[in-house]
A = this chain, B = another copy of it.
Amino acid sequence: MTSPLIKGNAVIAQSGGPTAVINQSIVGVVEGLRGPDEIGKIFGSRHGVRGLIEDNLVDLSAIDQTTLDRVANTPSAALGSTRDKPDADYCARILEACQKHDIRYFFYTGGNDSSDTCRIVNELSNEASYELRCFHVPKTIDNDLVENDHTPGFPSAARYTGLMFMGDQLDNRAIPGIKINVVMGRHAGFLTAASALMRDRSNEDGPHLIYIPETAFDLDAFVTDVERIYTSLGRCQIAISEGVQDASGESIGARLIKGEADAHGNAQLSGSGALGDQLATLLKEKLTPKGGKAPRVRADTLGYPQRCYPDASPVDQAEARISGRRAAEAARSGDIDGSIAIQRASDNPYQPKFVRVPLEAVAAKTRYLPEEHKQGDNDVSDAFVEWLKPLVGPLPEIGRL
């Protein structure tokens, strides 16, 4: 039986693509660790767990509340992040670093890869009989963690995406044409679905077509879908996930780019406008009547603002902060480990609950858009938008003439 509180140091690290609220989570951890009984030092590890193995730690113990609050409200990862995906060997070096620095509390904010790192480090520490309390604090704009209703970072990204589509569909009404917007999310369609946040179907608002990675994407059906909307409304706004794939599981972006000359260099999809541009070219070719004028087709790839535009959802900010605090409080309460999941305590009024779940329950698993949130092959349901709305903060009202 271990003591509820163990003296020793703590370390916090951030992983994967930054978000608008991941700093809230690390500040929450710091606040949660600052109890009446001091545990020891609180280290920040620079650039994820790489800071541990490269001995690049920063002491966060004495940082004043004003600075903490300012950091919490700043997007991106203030400690730096990493794309490293540690294997067992890498994790062993993480554990060594913890032992070297007398670290007894290990907090990692990130997605399913980070929860897996947490799980491995935790197992290694158990095997070594070194008491290390390992906690995962979820963070991903993709919202693809199982056990969670939603994950910190997603509501702010959904807010950005929904507002971007609102402005963009009004733009598309003002100067009609076909507009393709490519949204982040390789495997799960939550963020692409968020394009519908501000849509008023009774006004024939866009997005008119929504393509998520969970539904097989067919290029011919796509052209037919767009043609139908464009013929009927004289405009068409499309939301498409960067991760759409065909029935065989091949990425559409990779397939379209493969047909291209070598000048593209490679089939990199993220941080590139290639998928949108290729689809725009395809639509122009297919929808131009013989001897006629090509329709006006434009493509935007939403890019990094989805995860870093400084207009976070206040709900997301508060929840990310609490997630960090709960992880720290749980770690102080005994020799336990886990991931802090956000679940929905009630729908109306919206009320979250924060639940500790086992690392193994979350680690390296992927959650997909539930069936009741899909509608046909190219839309999301109103139930999805109802589910999303309480998470994204105050929204503007659309005025029309």
Listed in ascending order, the chain A residues whose CB lies under 8 Å from chain B are 14, 17-18, 20, 23, 44, 47, 58, 60, 63, 67-83, 163-164, 166-168, 170-171, 173-175, 179, 259-261, 263-265, 270-274, 276-278, 280-281, 284-285, 297-305, 307-311, 396-401
Contacts and interface: CB of A to CB of B under 8 A. Distances in A.
A81 B174 contact: yes
A304 B63 contact: no
A192 to B, nearest CB: 16
Contacts of A73: 396-397, 399
Contact of A272 (B67, B298, B305, B396): B298
A18 B177 CA distance: 14
Contact of A305 (B80, B164, B259): B164
Given A263-B281, A265-B284, A300-B304, 18 more contacts: A18-B170, A18-B174, A18-B175, A58-B401, A71-B401, A74-B400, A76-B173, A78-B399, A80-B174, A81-B175, A167-B309, A171-B304, A179-B304, A259-B263, A260-B261, A263-B278, A272-B273, A302-B305
A170 B18 CA distance: 9
A58 B179 CA distance: 26
Nearest to A311: B311
A277 B264 CA distance: 8
A401 B305 contact: no
28 contacts: A18-B171, A18-B175, A72-B399, A73-B396, A74-B396, A75-B171, A78-B174, A78-B399, A78-B400, A78-B401, A79-B401, A80-B174, A81-B175, A82-B175, A83-B175, A164-B309, A167-B305, A167-B310, A168-B308, A170-B308, A179-B271, A263-B281, A265-B281, A272-B280, A277-B277, A298-B304, A302-B305, A311-B311
B396 A310 contact: yes
Contacts of A274: 273, 277
Contacts of A281: 263-265
A301 B182 CA distance: 12
Contact of A273 (B68, B72, B79, B276): B276
Contacts of A311: 163, 311
Contacts of A70: 397-399
Nearest to A76: B170
A377 B387 CA distance: 50
Given A263-B261, A265-B285, A311-B163, A170 B75 contact: yes
Nearest to A23: B399
Contacts of A78: 174, 399-401
Contact of A263 (B44, B260, B298, B400): B260
A236 to B, nearest CB: 14
Given A170-B75, A173-B80, A281-B264, A299 B270 contact: no
A372 to B, nearest CB: 29
A304 to B, nearest CB: 5
A167 B304 contact: yes
5 smallest beta-carbon distances between A and B, as pairs? A273-B273, A271-B298, A70-B399, A167-B308, A261-B261
